[in-house]
Amino acid sequence: MTASSITPFRQAVRRDLLLAARHKTEVITALFFFVIVVNLLPLGIGPDPELLRKIAPGALWIGALLATLLGLQRLFAPDHQDGTLEQMALSPQPFTLLVAGKILAHWLVAGLPVVLIAPLLGLQFDLSGRSLWILVLSLLLGTPILSLIGAVGAALTLGVRGSGVLLSLLILPLYIPALIFGAGAVESDLAGLGAEGHLSLLGALLLVCAVFAPWVTTVALRVALE
């Protein structure tokens, strides 16, 4: 990125973060949803440490996935309703960079808090310090993938009636690789097999999504605005 291209990207991130700060309830709701989903599983299964360790990776990753999904419908819809999205598309600034800024802001609001609170929730599953570190690293690599893929789905369903259900049906299958590699990293570490392979695949998937998802999202948004 050149200096001239960084400016609109940074402005898009700053704008969406300011809007999120004005609607703190939505951010807090997603975070509490993540906490509740993860906390309910140990209560329902029981106190067996061995069983809790086995379900910990899947439980935390599914909670993170669902928490990210909550805010996706509002990623572009408010700007579409008030005409801001159309103005962005018509502005001289690169639309792809503005879209990428909005995706990053979504991750900072919906994904990063999940990454930060995950180690505290992992303690109740009797995870070791190393496993907690692997969990945080896998979420740090994986939650941006959820936002990037989710942005594509949000753009494809923009303006469609019943878009919430359609969005879920569209992107949940696409989340499966990130879920497998993310949870698999922690499971491999617990089994003593090492998590490097899963983390490498997760990093590669993040790189592919970071390169292509903003562009695909931009194309889908232009189609929705026509």
Dist. CA 113–CA 69, nearest whole Å:
14
Overall domain count for the chain: 1
Compute the distance between CA of residue 107 and CA of residue 174 in angstroms, rounded to an integer: 17
Burial (0-12, 13-18, 19+ Cβ within 10 Å), 98: buried
Distances from the Cα of 64 to the Cα of 77, 116, 139, angstroms: 22, 11, 8
pTM assigned to the model: 0.90
Domain extent at residue 140: 3-225
Cα(130)–Cα(123) distance, rounded to whole angstroms?
A: 12
83 torsion bin: left (phi>0), alpha (psi -120 to 50), beta (else)? left
Q: What tens-digit pLDDT sequence spans the chain (226 residues)?
A: 554 556 788 888 898 888 888 877 777 888 888 888 888 877 777 777 788 888 888 889 998 898 888 878 788 888 888 888 888 888 888 889 999 999 999 999 989 999 999 989 888 888 888 889 999 999 999 999 999 999 999 998 887 776 677 888 889 999 999 999 999 999 888 888 888 889 999 999 999 999 999 999 999 999 888 7
187 vs 42: CA distance, rounded Å: 17
Return the amino acid letter for 30: A
